[in-house]
Amino acid sequence: VSRVIPVDTFDLVIFGGTGDLARRKILPGLFRRFAAGQMPEAAQVIGAARSDMDVTEYRSMIRDALKEFSDKAEQGDDVIDGFLEHIDYAQVDAQGDDGWDALREKLRDGVVRAFYFSVAPFLFGDIAERLKTRGLSDDQSRIVVEKPFGRDLETARSLNRTLATFFDEGQIYRIDHYLGKETVQNLMAVRFGNILFEPLWNSQFIDHVQITVAETVGVGGRGSYYDKSGAMRDMVQNHLMQLLCLIAMEPPARFEPDAVRDEKLKVIRALEPVAPNEVVRGQYEGAEGENYVDHAEDPRSTTESFVAMKVQVANWRWQGTPFYLRTGKKLRSRVSEIVVRFREPPHSIFGKDAGGRANELAIRLQPDEGMDLRVTIKEPGPGGMRLVDVPLDMTFAEALGPDAEEVPDAYERLIMDVIRGNQTLFMRGDEVEAAWAWTDPIIANWEEAKVRPAKYDSGTSGPEASLELLHRDGRRWRDIR
Ligand code: NAD
């Protein structure tokens, strides 16, 4: 019995359909939905880009992309052929007049219509305007906007204003692919679907929270782009903030888009400004030619490839429970996880030498998605009352067995949500602005005070100062392995 929930027939236009993101994530994601039987028979996916090519050439480009980037490509050429029948191509100039009429001709009435902006952000406004003024969109159409959404409050506001000229907020889907991860939604199920957690979910019982997004890759070929951004803009303002919101938010009354997003917004607005000594900036160093600055345009660049910070959510629930965030490139291992560290039991009846540590809930987004809760039990055997910690595994793949539907990747899930018209896992304009309003002063302070990033060696867990940030509170980061 298939558990795949059908979606309505759609026309999906991918602007930037020949680009890296489309070939690596969006089209392989759609292909997985096709292979899972979720793509409606009459669905149409139209790549739109500047290149002069016909549909045969585009399909062959996508075939190559699937072979390279899709784990489903071994399903064979028949399946790929079936998928490619859904694919069309339109040559369009986002900033000019060419191609728009031909693209409009391809669109059908009476089906869901979505436009994915997988192009550089400076083109978002041009495309939105042309969709509207050239009659490609109507008030039911949806647009999907990739990151980065602005580079500070001012640019985000201006982008929001531009999009709002042509589309209602209910039509705008701002992607943060972290929100598309199975475990992120599982986090909400665990928090709000059980009675066990929510009564403990506050500063009385939670000592602190750690959110880590560690990458092993460096900036590589994206150096000149990344150098204008840095870890704060590229990761903290969006992905880490979104994760923080889901951990810290009050229970929404319903699992509905605006109910959830209202609660997330309240968290961002409750964040205390971060004091300069509670944020650490880092930049990696490596072997000859492998330093961060070797890939930046400016060899004296002070852009950070690492950030660690202590964040306080100033409300009743969280007073006294810090949230420690860190993210960086060229770290020891690729790990994205949230660790909720509970307080020690108030008194140990077994004596302080018996063992056992505080409970810990670990939510892993990468590499293998899953959740476990560390609990203390008696060490088995005759050795008296010795305590040990064991993980209580809540990983769905094992618990639900071989019949469980394969976990969709973030992009495919989010695209299907766009088709369904469900905005719950997309950022609302006011959330994005509030997040910038909080990160802007931190960045401004670095610039004014000319704060130079602390150097750290590639393959470590970041600068010494990041460890110190927790040590001085009597805490430590969970190891990234
Ligand atoms: P890319 O440079 O690989 O592709 C750009 C695409 O835009 C190409 O298809 C190109 O033909 C098209 N294009 C450029 N100018 C155009 C014009 N005037 N008219 C029509 N089409 C035009 O870029 P990418 O890496 O695929 O990134 C696309 C967007 O996604 C960017 O906003 C980027 O920040 C974002 N993003 C990318 C990644 C990633 O992993 N690549 C991850 C997250 C977000």
What is the DSSP annotation of 425-472?
A: TSB-HHHHHHHHHHHHHHHHHHHHTTPPPEEEETTBSS-HHHHHHHHT
Same domain? For 279 and 416 the reply is: yes
| Inside any domain, residue 480 | no
Same domain? For 272 and 202 the reply is: yes
Please give the model's pTM, rounded to 2 decimal places. 0.95
Domain boundary among 130, 146, 162: 146
CATH number reported for the structural domain that contains residue 141 in this entry: 3.40.50.720
Alpha-carbon span 439 to 93, nearest angstrom? 34
243 lines ligand 1 (CB under 6 A): no
pLDDT of 400 over the 70 cut: no
Residue 111 identity (one-letter amino acid): V
- pLDDT per position as a tens digit, 260-300: 999 999 999 999 999 999 999 999 999 888 999 999 988 89
119 lines ligand 1 (CB under 6 A): yes
- Using CA atoms, how far residue 204 sits from 62, 194, 210, 319, 344, in Å, is 53, 19, 17, 9, 11
Atom of ligand 1 nearest to the CA of 147: 44
Same domain? For 282 and 419 the reply is: yes
Domain count, the chain: 2
| Inside any domain, residue 174 | no
Buried/exposed code over 171-189 (b: 16+ C-beta within 10 A; e: otherwise): bbbbbbbbbbbbbbbbbbe
By DSSP bridging, strand 206-214 and strand 112-117 are: unpaired
| Inside any domain, residue 153 | no
Same domain? For 268 and 350 the reply is: yes
Q: Give helix then strand counts, H and E, for the chain.
A: 17, 15
Strands of the sheet containing 172-174, edge to edge, are 87-91, 44-49, 10-15, 112-117, 142-145, 172-174
Domain boundary among 122, 146, 170: 146
Same domain? For 313 and 442 the reply is: yes
21 lines ligand 1 (CB under 6 A): yes
Q: Which residues pair with 212 in a beta bridge?
A: 326, 337
Distance 348 CA to ligand 1 centre (A): 57
- Using CA atoms, how far residue 297 sits from 164, 216, 219, 442, in Å, is 35, 21, 12, 23
| Inside any domain, residue 250 | yes
- Among residues 114, 110, 112, 111, the alpha carbon closest in space to that of 127 is found at 114
| Inside any domain, residue 172 | no
Residue pair 15/49 in contact by the 8 Å Cβ criterion? yes
Is-catalytic flag, 295? Answer: no
Radius of gyration of the chain (CA): 24
Same domain? For 191 and 133 the reply is: no
Distance 310 CA to ligand 1 centre (A): 34
CATH number reported for the structural domain that contains residue 417 in this entry: 3.30.360.10
What pLDDT is recorded for position 130?
Answer: 98
Query: What is the rounded end-to-end Cα distance, in angstroms, of the chain?
Result: 39
Q: Which of 177-191, 227-241, 401-415 has the lowest mean pLDDT?
A: 401-415
Same domain? For 240 and 373 the reply is: yes
By DSSP bridging, strand 306-311 and strand 87-91 are: unpaired
Alpha-carbon span 148 to 435, nearest angstrom? 13
Residue pair 282/454 in contact by the 8 Å Cβ criterion? yes
Same domain? For 183 and 137 the reply is: no
- pLDDT per position as a tens digit, 363-390: 999 888 889 999 999 999 887 889 999 9
Q: Which residues pair with 279 in a beta bridge?
A: 309
Distance 373 CA to ligand 1 centre (A): 40
Q: Please list, in sequence order, all residues whose beta carbon lies within 8 angstroms of the beta carbon of residue 56, skipping any fewer than 6 positions away.
A: none
Helix (H) or strand (E) holding 248: helix 241-248
Helix (H, G, I), strand (E, B) or coil at 236: helix
| Inside any domain, residue 163 | no
Same domain? For 394 and 249 the reply is: yes
pLDDT of 304 over the 60 cut: yes
120 lines ligand 1 (CB under 6 A): yes
Atom of ligand 1 nearest to the CA of 15: 21
- pLDDT per position as a tens digit, 227-244: 999 999 999 999 999 999
Higher pLDDT, 393 or 399: 393
16 lines ligand 1 (CB under 6 A): yes
- Using CA atoms, how far residue 126 sits from 21, 131, 162, in Å, is 20, 9, 9
Atom of ligand 1 nearest to the CA of 121: 32
Same domain? For 136 and 253 the reply is: no
- Among residues 184, 289, 194, the alpha carbon closest in space to that of 242 is found at 184
DSSP 145-181: EPSP--SSHHHHHHHHHHHHHHS-GGGEEE--GGGGS
Which residue's CA is the closest to the ligand 1 atom numbered 41?
A: 21
Atom of ligand 1 nearest to the CA of 18: 9
18 lines ligand 1 (CB under 6 A): yes
- pLDDT per position as a tens digit, 419-431: 999 999 999 999 9
By DSSP bridging, strand 10-15 and strand 44-49 are: parallel
Phi and psi of 117, rounded to 5°? -90, 85
pLDDT of 169 over the 80 cut: yes
Indicate the top mutation candidate among 118, 159, 226 to test ligand 1's pocket, ranked by most ligand atoms within 8 A of CB.
Answer: 118
Percent of the chain's residues with pLDDT above 90: 84
| Inside any domain, residue 476 | no
Q: Which DSSP category does 238 fall into? A: I
Q: What tokens were used for 465?
A: 């100062």
Indicate the top mutation candidate among 27, 69, 91, 119 to test ligand 1's pocket, ranked by most ligand atoms within 8 A of CB.
Answer: 119
92 lines ligand 1 (CB under 6 A): yes
Q: Which residues pair with 280 in a beta bridge?
A: 308
What pLDDT is recorded for position 398?
Answer: 65
Atom of ligand 1 nearest to the CA of 23: 26
Same domain? For 183 and 91 the reply is: no
Does ipTM exceed 0.90?
yes
| Inside any domain, residue 152 | no
Q: Which of 86, 177, 208, 239 is catalytic?
A: 239
Domain boundary among 146, 168, 197: 146
Q: Please list, in sequence order, all residues whose beta carbon lies within 8 angstroms of the beta carbon of residue 1, skipping any fewer than 6 positions away.
A: none
Same domain? For 201 and 133 the reply is: no
Q: Please list, in sequence order, all residues whose beta carbon lies within 8 angstroms of the beta carbon of residue 26, skipping any fewer than 6 positions away.
A: 14, 116, 118, 411, 415
Which residue's CA is the closest to the ligand 1 atom numbered 25?
A: 20
Q: Which domain holds residue 16?
A: 10-146
Q: What is the CB neighbour count within 10 angstroms for residue 143?
A: 24
pLDDT of 1 over the 50 cut: no
Which residue's CA is the closest to the ligand 1 atom numbered 39?
A: 21
State the chain's maximal CA–CA distance in angstroms. 81
Confidence grade of residue 404 (pLDDT, cut at 50, 70, 90)? low
